[in-house]
Amino acid sequence: MKKRKNKIILINIFFVLGVVASLWVKASYLHHSIGLNPMLEYDRIHTLLIFSVVIIVLFNMLIFQRKAVYSLVITDLIVSFIFFADTVYGRYYGIPLTIPILYQLGFMNDVADSTFSLMHIKDLIFVVTIPVMIAYAVYFRKTLQEHKTWKHNLLIAILIVAAIGAFHWKASEVDRTHHAYERKNIAKDLGVYYFHGYDLLDFAKNKWFTSTSMDQAELETIKAYLSGKSEGREPLALYDASMNLVVIQVEAMQEFVVDLEIEGEEVTPFLNKLKEDALYFENIYHQVAAGNTSDAELLLNVGLHPAPVGAVNYLHATNRFITLGELLKDRGYENIGFHGYQASFWNREVVYNNFKFDDFISKEDFDLDEIVGWAISDVSFYRQAMDISIQNQPFYSFLVTLSSHHPYDAFNGYEPDTGDYEKTQVGNYLKSMRYVDDSIEGLFERLESEGILDETIIVIYGDHSGLYQDQKAPLSRLLGLSDHYVAWESIQKVPLWIVLPDSDMKGTISKTGGQVDILATILDIMGLDHPLTLGESLLIDGPGYVIKRDGSIIMDNYFYNNNEERLYDLKNHEPVEITETLAEQLERIKRDLKVSDLILKKNLFKNEEFMKLVE
């Protein structure tokens, strides 16, 4: 009798251990085959993988009881299937699949074309365990389906609690800050099981637990906003539908570099000259928040503000957006987004599809023939992007540059000589801006040699600041800034050029605005109709303003600090009394953020009641 009992226990233990081993080995193989080299030491990631597997197996046993033998085989089958798909996709994009990615797989022509070449013979590892497991389960089915006692169940429940606790204890060592911009890092740090679980919950939360209906107060906020929004005037509509559009979002370019001289030399000679042949906006403040570069991409393509917490690219990646690409598509444009870094970064592979780009060309697609900093050099980036763009005209090409990314070390030794600032971050930053200038000049020459410079509207702006608080002292010295914080705030501007072929609209415009206004300005110029962007064309006469994500507001003459609720003169930094008229104005401006947040949170472009109000 005892012998038989031992035999039963052994057969069960073998089976459970076999399943655990199978699920663990497959996860390790996936990590290895798609280059998810752990950010942490190997022992930690494997410990976390094993805890994850143990939790999955124990839950199966508790829920399915005598039928757990079947559910475990099915679990292994499902995991094998998912991990195999992850492997094929991840070999190309370096990230396991997520549900939002599955939604737009058609966009991934590149993987589709090369699916077979992405499969390796070793991937059979996902299959080989299955017949063995089935054979074992069938052969020992009686023994494996022994009735489970309450003691047995209690033990399993205790083990589940312990395994979850152990997982959390080990996971608490992880610094999660770098999960915000690259979801792949969740898999690297915490394992693919956790990664898929997180993705599933996140998806379910957005899909099923987010209400899109507005309550009375929200409706009032939106109505008040719409009635306060100026009627504007008829759009300029300067061109017919044949003009190409090139939008260049320059990494880390701040406005102060324009016209700046160092050691008697201009930092950006080409762009300085361009100010005379284009519209140049000298008072545009960046509005990015936690989504950084990706927030600037959102502001430009959608005309909404970033989210109050976290990155829209993850929080609302699959919302309904009405984008520049969508409007241009209706006019027969070919829209392509270009960025020389990994497609998964900032979740762009999902978001660019949703922004209605016909294609997204990322690091995986470029010929990496010249590397500067993180990846492909801007010079090569522009060359290859233009090779592709000019094939289908008219085109809208959205170029997000990368070379001038913090901390600018790649430019040590580049021009110009920065004197005292040589070998410092400020000096290297100025050099990176010279490189930006050189490479944009090259792009203009290319467009000219193709004979399409006169048929192309070119918009150039910076994505966000390049020098942060840690560089405040040397930068303030260089620019002669006072140490009042408003002085620092007043240089958080990005330059904006809009080059209009065949137009006499040129020269510098001083109106205050934000990145959210760039889309409205493009729509104005091209005569495109958008139901609602949160910006206003910078070419409309009248006072300007910008609201930043922290609620601070800059008007043509004032800086408003939202935390202190104080107003300052923008030039001399003296406090200014908030009159009733100013207070009303500030309240009205603050509504911009509230409305933008509502649109994002409630996915309002999908809400019929809302669409009726705005159309």
The Cα–Cα gap between 57 and 516 comes to 50
**Max CA separation in the chain (angstroms):** 99
Smallest separation (angstroms) from ligand GP9 to the CB of 293: 3
Smallest separation (angstroms) from Mn ion to the CB of 251: 5
Write the CA distances from 148 to 69, 507, 577, integer angstroms: 12, 82, 76
Which of residues 495 and 544 has its CB atom nearest to ligand GP9 in the complex?
495
The Cα–Cα gap between 152 and 206 comes to 38
Six token digits for residue 614? 């705005």
Q: Which of residues 320-339 bind ligand GP9 (CB under 6 A)?
A: 339
Strand ranges in 486-589 using DSSP code E only, listed in sequence order: 493-499, 507-509, 513-514, 545-547, 553-555, 558-561, 566-569, 575-576
Q: Three-state DSSP class for 69? A: helix
Residue number of the CB closest to ligand GP9 reads: 292
Residue 416 CB partners (closer than 8 Å, separation 6+)? 262, 263, 265, 266, 267, 430, 431, 434
Smallest separation (angstroms) from ligand GP9 to the CB of 53: 33
β-pair partners for 553: 547, 560
Smallest separation (angstroms) from ligand GP9 to the CB of 296: 9
* Residues that contact Mn ion, how many (by CB under 5 A): 3
Asked if residue 341 binds ligand GP9 (CB under 6 A), the reply is: yes
Asked if residue 93 binds ligand GP9 (CB under 6 A), the reply is: no
Tell me the window of 34-42, 145-153, 287-295, 511-519 that interacts with Mn ion (CB under 5 A): 287-295
Which of residues 225 and 345 has its CB atom nearest to ligand GP9 in the complex?
345
Which of residues 28 and 432 has its CB atom nearest to ligand GP9 in the complex?
432
Asked if residue 280 binds ligand GP9 (CB under 6 A), the reply is: no
Asked if the peptide bond before residue 416 counts as cis, ω within 30 degrees of 0, the response is yes
The partner in contact with residue 341, picked from ligand GP9, Mn ion, none with C-beta cut-offs of 5 to 8 angstroms by kind, is: ligand GP9
Tell me the window of 218-226, 341-349, 379-387, 505-513 that interacts with ligand GP9 (CB under 6 A): 341-349
- Residue where the block lists tokens 């060359």: 383
493-499 and 265-266 strand pairing: unpaired
Which of residues 184 and 339 has its CB atom nearest to ligand GP9 in the complex?
339
Smallest separation (angstroms) from ligand GP9 to the CB of 295: 8
Which of residues 214 and 516 has its CB atom nearest to ligand GP9 in the complex?
516
Q: Which of residues 501-560 bind Mn ion (CB under 5 A)?
A: none
Smallest separation (angstroms) from ligand GP9 to the CB of 341: 4
Which of residues 80 and 515 has its CB atom nearest to ligand GP9 in the complex?
515
Strand ranges in 162-278 using DSSP code E only, listed in sequence order: 244-250, 261-262, 265-266
CA quadruple 585, 586, 589, 590: dihedral, nearest 10: -150
In contact, 258 and 268? CB cutoff 8 Å: yes
The partner in contact with residue 345, picked from ligand GP9, Mn ion, none with C-beta cut-offs of 5 to 8 angstroms by kind, is: ligand GP9
Smallest separation (angstroms) from ligand GP9 to the CB of 505: 31
Among 292, 354, 377, 533, indicate the residue that binds ligand GP9 (CB under 6 A): 292
In contact, 251 and 461? CB cutoff 8 Å: no
Smallest separation (angstroms) from ligand GP9 to the CB of 463: 7
Q: Three-state DSSP class for 566? A: strand
* Cα–chain center distance at 21: 36
DSSP 230: -
Binding pattern for the stretch 418-457 against Mn ion, x by CB under 5 A and - elsewhere: ----------------------------------------
Binding pattern for the stretch 206-245 against ligand GP9, x by CB under 6 A and - elsewhere: ----------------------------------------
* Residues that contact ligand GP9, how many (by CB under 6 A): 8
Asked if residue 515 binds ligand GP9 (CB under 6 A), the reply is: no
Six token digits for residue 392? 């289908």
Asked if residue 293 binds ligand GP9 (CB under 6 A), the reply is: yes
The partner in contact with residue 167, picked from ligand GP9, Mn ion, none with C-beta cut-offs of 5 to 8 angstroms by kind, is: none
Six token digits for residue 192? 């693919």
Smallest separation (angstroms) from Mn ion to the CB of 595: 26
Six token digits for residue 309? 């917490």
The Cα–Cα gap between 303 and 600 comes to 12
The Cα–Cα gap between 271 and 422 comes to 23
Among 22, 75, 293, 418, indicate the residue that binds Mn ion (CB under 5 A): 293
Tell me the window of 89-97, 224-232, 244-252, 420-428 that interacts with Mn ion (CB under 5 A): 244-252
Residue number of the CB closest to Mn ion reads: 293
Which of residues 291 and 416 has its CB atom nearest to ligand GP9 in the complex?
291
The partner in contact with residue 509, picked from Mn ion, ligand GP9, none with C-beta cut-offs of 5 to 8 angstroms by kind, is: none
Smallest separation (angstroms) from ligand GP9 to the CB of 318: 20
Six token digits for residue 203? 């998806």
Residue 377 CB partners (closer than 8 Å, separation 6+)? 370, 371, 403, 439
Which of residues 52 and 347 has its CB atom nearest to ligand GP9 in the complex?
347
Q: Three-state DSSP class for 265? A: strand
Q: Which of residues 377-416 bind ligand GP9 (CB under 6 A)?
A: 402, 405
Among 463, 524, 536, 592, indicate the residue that binds Mn ion (CB under 5 A): 463
Six token digits for residue 236? 């300029």
DSSP 307: P
Among 194, 280, 345, 395, indicate the residue that binds ligand GP9 (CB under 6 A): 345
Q: What is the phi/psi pair of residue 262, to 5°?
A: -130, 130
The Cα–Cα gap between 455 and 395 comes to 11
Six token digits for residue 187? 């898999």
Smallest separation (angstroms) from ligand GP9 to the CB of 249: 9
The distance in angstroms from the start CA to the end CA of the chain is: 80
Q: How many CB atoms lie within 10 A of CB 24?
A: 18
What does the binding site for Mn ion look like in residue numbers (CB under 5 A)? 251, 293, 463
What does the binding site for ligand GP9 look like in residue numbers (CB under 6 A)? 292-293, 339, 341, 345-346, 402, 405
